[in-house]
């Protein structure tokens, strides 16, 4: 059956073919896997770090205005 005779059309078939190798496996050494897994425990995105730093700065500024009376 040619592409033009397919019910979904050529565009859809070509699009579907882009997913052809999506299930392929990648093999890495166990040491490298452990290193990558350990890095996943830390925040490394610069924009997220910047946001966290700003929150910390604003929290410190707010704490200066807190008066606790027990």
pLDDT at 10: 63
| Residue 58 belongs to some domain of the structure | yes
| Residue 3 belongs to some domain of the structure | no
pLDDT at 70: 80
| Residue 1 belongs to some domain of the structure | no
How far lies 16's CA from each of 20, 22, 45, 63, in Å? Answer: 7, 11, 33, 56
Domain total in the chain:
1
| Residue 17 belongs to some domain of the structure | no
pLDDT at 40: 87
CA Rg value for the chain: 26
Contacts 24+ apart (CB under 8 A), 25-32: none
| pTM metric for this prediction | 0.47
pLDDT tens readout for residues 3-61 = 455 555 567 777 777 666 666 777 889 999 999 899 889 999 999 999 999 999 999 99
Contact yes or no for 13/6 (Cβ under 8 A):
yes
Q: Which two tokens stand for residue 58?
A: 């604003």
């Amino acid at each position: 059956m040619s592409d033009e005779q397919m019910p979904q059309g050529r565009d859809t078939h070509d699009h579907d073919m882009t997913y052809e190798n999506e299930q392929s496996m990648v093999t890495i050494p166990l040491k490298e896997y452990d290193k990558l897994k350990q890095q996943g425990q830390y925040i490394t995105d610069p924009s997220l770090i910047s946001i966290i730093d700003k929150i910390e700065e604003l929290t410190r500024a707010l704490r200066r205005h807190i008066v606790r009376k027990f």
